[in-house]
Amino acid sequence: MAPKLPLRLLRGYASFALNLFFKRLQIHNVKAIPEKGPVIFVPNHQNAFLDAIIVICKSPRHPWSIARASVFKEGLATKILLGIRIKPVFRVRDGWSTLRNNDAILREWAEMLAQEEDIQIFAEGNHNDPYAGGTLQKGFARMAILFKEKYPDVPLTIVPVGLHYDDHYTFRSRVLLNFGEAISVDKILEQSPTDREKLDGIVDATHAGMKRLAIAINPDETYKAKVDFLRQHRVYKKDMLEQLEADRKVLAAYPNLPPVSVKKSSVFWKVINPIVWLGVLTNIIPYRLMNGFLKAKIKDPQWILSIKFAFGLFVLPFYYLIAMVVFYLVVPNVIAAIGVGILMPLTGILATDFLKK
């Protein structure tokens, strides 16, 4: 079901911002998403709320998203989260006594699915380290079974989703949004005689689908070494599907690939490039503000890219607007002031891309 107009406008704005924030945001296999009937999206989780925003903005459906209950506070915060179609779920870390609240929440989600609302839930339970695969929690499977018990004649589909970032922390990195083949909950339930087999069948099928869509490195004692190995030996591919497969081949060869020499662009040309200077000088104030905030307030590195996106979405437009007004007061020419407002973010993007080469 489509959200109300204000939320659709916000979704469109965020979708446009994502296209600027990432150097490449590639979407694959959208055709796997059913056009009709309720859908549960189950993505992997590596980058705090940015993962949810990418799926919400770049899928043809309009899913509600599920967030941990601890972010829901009394008053304005809860109203904002509900207003942008985010609902809470309780976890063990919130206290064993809170888990009984999930029974009512599961029933509410089932009713939402019956009303043709879609649900996005991060079944890994938390955002993970880059490329770390997590064990799936069973809440989404219980939701699916509860829905089918009450609405046996309504087909229900689960769509696994894979997000593959080539860099989890930097502006103008690349990301693949990879939709998996739709999983029919009805078929799994028909083939599973016991309640336990039904629950495990849904979880196992979803987990298997997710593994095909993104990298999942076991978070054991070799995890850090494997991630470092991947970054050292990565072969750059323009197409993100090819990048995903190339990254898998590198990890499969761990630890036996020989060192590779990376060709770097001239430091001298970076220093004298006027676009770099213009981009840096016109964006130095928000850049320092954002970095200062990240260093002072953000302890979990998986929040870094999400905070950068939120900063660009809500703070940078005001900075550019103020800069345009100041310029107009000095040079009272509307066209020139608008040109400055366009030039500042454009040179910032170009400078970032050039410095990352």
Domain ranges within the chain, ordered by starting residue? 5-211, 221-262, 267-355
Selection from 122, 87, 197, 202 nearest residue 156 by Cα: 202
198 vs 190: CA distance, rounded Å: 9
DSSP 265-310: --HHHHHH-HHHHHHHHHHHHHHHHHHHHHHHH--SGGGHHHHHHH
Amino acid in position 127: H
pLDDT at 96: 44
CB atoms within 10 A of CB 141: 25
Q: Which helix (H) or strand (E) holds 188?
A: helix 185-190
pLDDT at 92: 46
- Kindly report the CATH number that applies to the domain delimited by 5-211: 3.40.1130.10
pLDDT at 90: 58
What global pTM score does this model have?
0.90
87 vs 307: CA distance, rounded Å: 20
Residue with tokens 């066209």: 335
* Tokens, residue 318: 């005001």
* Tokens, residue 164: 């593959």
Phi-psi region of 48 (alpha: psi -120 to 50; beta: other; left: phi over 0): left
DSSP 100-169: GHHHHHHHHHHHHHHTT--EE--TTSS--STTB--PPPSHHHHHHHHHHHH-TTS--EEEEEEEEES-SS
As a whole number of Å, the CA-based R_g of the chain is 23
pLDDT at 322: 97
Q: Per residue of the chain (357 residues), what is the pLDDT tens digit?
A: 667 788 888 889 999 999 999 999 999 999 999 999 999 999 999 888 899 999 999 999 889 888 766 555 655 556 656 666 777 765 545 544 455 666 777 888 889 999 989 999 999 877 667 888 778 989 899 999 999 999 999 999 999 999 999 999 999 999 999 999 999 999 999 999 999 999 999 999 999 999 999 998 988 889 999 999 999 999 999 999 999 999 999 999 999 876 665 566 667 667 788 989 999 999 999 999 999 999 999 888 988 999 999 999 999 999 999 999 999 999 999 999 999 999 999 999 999 999 887
Give the end-to-end CA distance of the chain in Å, rounded to a whole number. Answer: 43
Directed axis angle between helix 5-21 and helix 304-314, to 10°? 120
